Structure 1
Amino acid sequence: MFKRVVTAAVAAVLIAGLGGCGRGDDVRDEGTGHSAGVGHGSGTGVEESRPAPATTTDASVFGLRDEVRHLAAKTTRATRPHMTRKCTTATRRVKHTTRSGSGTKRRTRTWYSTEPSRSCKQVRSGTETYTRVVRPERWCVSLDDLGGDARRDDVWYQVRRATYDAAVGTHRSARMKFTPTGSGC
């Protein structure tokens, strides 16, 4: 039983790792609305994201808005053991004792009774299908002239949905300042 659980866990980790290496078909280029094919030689001219620079004491970044991307969540159907609660009832014999008196007049009275007992445990009962998230939904914004440095262009950041919506509402090359939730996209 333990070997099956370990094998299933290893398989889940491998599937999740390989699922992140998808083709990138769900990445949309803002300008054309076509699939961007990020980093897979599709010839669309979209540059693969670069790692973010080392952050300073201030967590916010600023620069000129370049492009925005929305990466939809990737999910897959998976199976896992279905666990149910199984209870058994039984009876047990319980000994009761009372003492009275003291010294040589001490008396002990003993009697027995039968009481019900119940024990429950989780047991496997087949399998169940569920939706597993391979990659969570992400919103990304690319900045040019990062921190005022004209040499630092096309730096991608993961942002909150509100920041993404604000970036979509502005024109390209608008100055933006925000606090990213992650680097790269």
Structure 2
Amino acid sequence: MRNKHGLVRLGLVALLMAGLGACGTGANGAASHPGNDGRGTGTSGQGAPPHQDGVFGLRSGVRHVTQQTTTGTRPHLVTTCTPATRQVKHTNRSGRSKKTWYTTEHYQDCRKTARGTETYRRVIRPERWCVKLDDVNGDPKKDAAWYRVTSTTYHQALGADARARLRFTPTGTGC
């Protein structure tokens, strides 16, 4: 009886694997759905780069957006400790007898309490480096596209001529 259940279970597993295998990949190991290359869409709503491989085009402009901060206040937290005690139960078993006794344990009960306020620097706008491209990826219709880049890429673009051809991997879109 046990062997029949094992054979049925093995047959169901084989059938399930065959069905899932047909949905996953094609004959050459590529994804069977058109347009699905396994990399995802790349859009996260946070200005994700449109191309993982990078972009190229003609330098149209550069922009450095400085970091903007302001002062803020928050409660100043101080750790205050008070001595405290607790009862600890001990038991010892020896054969049928059980002996129980209690001891008092001393410890520090510490808590954070607000005492006054403190000031700190709060970032309102983070620092950004941007490059503006024309003829993005060879398409003359894609002009004036801003891309966020690293500081190194920004300084390379800043040193390049006005309509120089640039190739870089952006960290985001827009500026």
Query: Is it true that 1:55 corresponds to 2:50 in the alignment?
Result: yes
Distance 1:59 1:138 in 2: 21
Aligned residue runs from structure 1 range 68-147, under 5 A: 68-98=62-92, 100=94, 102=96, 106=97, 111-147=101-137
Computed over aligned residues only, the root mean square deviation of the Cα atoms, in angstroms, reads: 2.4
Identity percentage of aligned residues = 53
Say whether 1:67 aligns with 2:46. no
Q: TM-score, normalised on structure 1?
A: 0.60
Unaligned runs of 5+ in 1: 1-51
Query: Structure 1: how far apart are the matches of 2:94 and 2:154?
Result: 81
SS of match in other structure, 1:162: helix
1:182 matches 2:172: yes
**Counterpart in the other structure of 1:171:** 161
Q: In the TM superposition, what is the alpha-carbon distance from 1:119 to its structure 2 partner? A: 1.7
Could you tell me how far apart the structure 2 residues matched to 1:147 and 1:133 are?
Answer: 35
> What 5-or-longer segments of structure 2 have no aligned partner?
1-46
Q: Is the 8 A contact 2:50 2:173 kept in 1?
A: no
Aligned CA distance change for structure 1 residues 91 and 67 (closer, same or farther; 3 Å): same
Aligned partner of residue 87 in structure 1, secondary structure: strand
After superposition, the Cα gap between the structure-2 partners of 1:154 and 1:90, relative to the gap in structure 1 and judged at 3 Å, is same
Residue in structure 1 matching 2:138, options 148, 159, 163: 148
Q: Helix, strand or coil: the match of 2:50?
A: coil
Q: Deviations over 1:120-161 (max 9, x none)?
A: 222222221100111110001001111212222211111000
| Change in 2 beyond 3 A, CA 1:165/1:101 | closer
Of stretches 112-121 and 81-90 in structure 1, the one that deviates more from structure 2 is: 112-121
Aligned residues: 128
Instruction: Check conservation: 2:63, 2:130, Cα contact below 8 A.
Output: yes
